Structure 1
Amino acid sequence: MSRRVLRGFDAAAFATLRRERGFSVSDLARLSGTSLGTIHAWEAGRRTPQIDILAAVMAVLDAPIDAVVRIQEDQRFPGDWRVMKGLTQPQLAAQAQLSTAAVQRIELGEHPLSDANARTLSGLLGISPEAYRDAYHRARQRPPGTSC
């Protein structure tokens, strides 16, 4: 499975949150099942998290993902809404009873978004169909070379 850079991840906010919650890097890695090197790389800004691993770490920190992934709601793409829920594309696809490829193409704005899919996906993500459709239109209208 290919992984992309996690858009909006704030390494400094992550490190600050870890310290404020009283976790050493070692304890956080151990309790979340993540490697010590992974946590260090995130905090140093050398790597961004995979969403499933970040979700596990944030559960240990008892903090929402949007505490460290900072994207304004009116600038989010469909994949950003999924990330905020801590879901991978395959997880969301399974819940929506869609193929992973369909979810991927919708998130990229490359596949038409039906009203039914907008309702299903937005419901699973806890947002309105209008908010999801707006995110979809941002993805479709993004400039060439812009990742989402």
Structure 2
Amino acid sequence: MKSVEDFDPVKLKEVRLAAGLSAADVAKAIGSSAGTVGRWETGRGAPSPRLFAALAEALSVPKARLLVPLSDDADLATLRTRAGLRQEDVAESLDVQPSDVSEVEQGTGPMRDEWGVVLSTLYDVPLQRLMKARAVTEARWREKFESRRGQ
């Protein structure tokens, strides 16, 4: 399972300390271990989308508070994980199979026009930002394809 790439370990520790919680308190609230929370705080790991969503909820902060600013080259998978969602969650919202979401995130499958508004709402980004992430995703796929073809 993909970890939340843009997770900010420093912000996690700041928020946790400001809330007066120990790593063990946070771990208990999200169903994890204090060691895991400690690894996240030292940057030796990052939570899965599911645990990231639980973490933000347990700390009563918006998910964005625990993330580095969104980079210009963020792809669709990054937007999804920043939102604390799994491919299965997105597929359920779109009423499609998780494999359809996977293909879109890999740049190998089409993204239906009607998904744009749903995804921008799910990922809490403007539609324009979602479309930019889609273009980044598709460009990365083309680069991989061309490099394999040239070998």
Residue type at the aligned position of 1:38: T
CA distance in 2, matches of 1:117, 1:129: 10
> Which segment drifts farther, 111-120 or 58-67?
111-120
In structure 2, runs of 5+ residues without a counterpart are: 145-151
Deviation sequence 1:64-91 (CA, Å, 0-9, x none) = 2222222426433212222232211101
Q: Which entry has the higher C-alpha Rg, 1 or 2?
A: 2
CA gap of 1:65–1:123, structure 2 versus 1, over 3 A, is closer
In the other structure, the counterpart of 1:92 is: 90
Partner of 2:101: 103
After the TM superposition, which of the residue ranges 107-116 and 34-43 deviates more from structure 2?
107-116
CA contact (8 A) 1:11 1:44 kept: yes
Residues 123 and 10 of structure 1, relative CA distance in 2, 3 Å threshold = closer
Q: 1:66 to 1:126 in 2, by over 3 A?
A: closer
SS in 2 for 1:8: coil
Tell me the distance in 2 between the aligned counterparts of 1:126 and 1:44. 27
Matches within 5 A, 1:54-93: 54-72=52-70, 74-93=72-91
Q: Does structure 1 conserve the Cα–Cα contact (< 8 Å) formed by 2:3 and 2:46?
A: yes
CA distance, structure 2, for counterparts of residue 110 and residue 133 of structure 1: 16
Root mean square deviation of aligned Cα: 2.0
Give the length in aligned residue pairs: 142
Q: Greater shift after overlay, 68-77 or 30-39?
A: 68-77
Mind listing any 5+ residue stretches in structure 1 that lack a counterpart? none
Mapped pair 1:32 → 2:30 = yes
Secondary structure of 1:87's counterpart equals coil
Aligned-partner Cα distance in 2 for 1:65–1:124: 12
* Secondary structure class of the residue paired with 1:56: helix
Identity %: 25
Once residues 61 and 137 of structure 2 are traced to their aligned partners in structure 1, the CA distance between those partners, rounded to angstroms, is: 28
2:114: which partner in 1?
116
What is the TM-score of this pair, normalised by structure 2? Answer: 0.81
Tell me the CA shift for residue 14 of structure 1: 1.2
Contact 1:96-1:124 at 8 Å conserved across structures: no
Other-structure match for 1:47: 45
Give the Å deviation of 1:18: 1.0
Comparing 113-122 with 102-111, greater Cα deviation is found at 113-122
How far has the Cα of 1:126 moved from its partner? Answer: 4.0
Q: 2: CA distance between counterparts of 1:65 and 1:128?
A: 16
Q: TM-score, normalised by structure 1?
A: 0.83
Counterpart CA distance in 2 for 1:76 and 1:131 is: 9
